[in-house]
Amino acid sequence: MKIRNLAHRGFSGKYPENTRLAFVKAVEEAGADGFESDVHLSSDGEPVVIHDHDLSRTTNENGFVGDKTFAELRRIDNGIWKGEEFSGQHILHLDELLEIVAEYKVFLNLEIKTGEIFYKDIEKICIQRINALGVGKQILVSSFNHISVRRCMEIDSSLRTGFLYESPLIDMDLYGERYHASAIHPRLCCLYYSPDLVDKAHDRNLEVNTWTVNTEDDMRYCVKLGVDSIISNYPDKTAVLLRSQTEN
């Protein structure tokens, strides 16, 4: 089984996260199989690619994503926080990320960032864009908000879906099967508490895509367990390790 090498918010260990530069470099420089990324809604209902609901950490602006129109968000610099050399990167529309996915023929784990902030119809809006661009087979939609994931299933039952979680939980393989997910997405620490989870999930036809795996030791542990995707800020390191595993 080939383990997917997914770049966490693009090649975020080296480039400003969730920018065009980070996504393109993840493929062209690091050899990633695809990306993990995040989507919020602007105040005028446009799906935008950014992790936090607050702009202050990764842009030169303050305030909340959902309080600004797409035109206002577009004027914000989304790269300079990482270094002057990255100035000029802008917040992407979801369509632009999906176009990169289509162009490079890669996989996208798209996390819907709803729960703490409620975005009306975000699931419907995202799925409409995915289907309009014809990339549904290259997408898996996930969220920490499992009600949101269920809504995605109801809107489009052909779409692959995943339940995100960050603390060790009991019987997540049973839970994923019961609620008809395609995958479970445990934080890395959960696999140290439950090393048998991957086999149990596979027995129930569930993928296990784990995050955020940044050290070689942790990557080797995930390979040993047989996870389906390693999600890392350093897809270049993941690529080297996976290549060495194949050669051996």
What is the number of residues in the chain? 248
The yes-or-no answer on residue 180 being catalytic is no
The yes-or-no answer on residue 40 being catalytic is no
The catalytic residue among 8, 40, 146, 185 is 8
Axis crossing angle, helix 146-155 with helix 122-132, rounded to the nearest 10: 50
CB 106 within 8 A of CB 27: yes
The catalytic residue among 40, 51, 146, 185 is 51
Which residues have C-beta within 8 Å of that of residue 13, sequence separation ≥ 6?
214, 232, 233, 234
Please state, in angstroms and rounded to a whole number, the distance separating the CA atoms of residues 7 and 41.
22
Tell me the CA distances in angstroms from 150 to 146, 178, 238, one per residue in order: 6, 12, 31
Q: Tabulate helix, strand, coil % of the chain (nearest 5).
A: 40, 20, 40
Please state, in angstroms and rounded to a whole number, the distance separating the CA atoms of residues 196 and 225.
8
Please state, in angstroms and rounded to a whole number, the distance separating the CA atoms of residues 21 and 18.
8
Q: Which residues are tagged catalytic? A: 8, 51
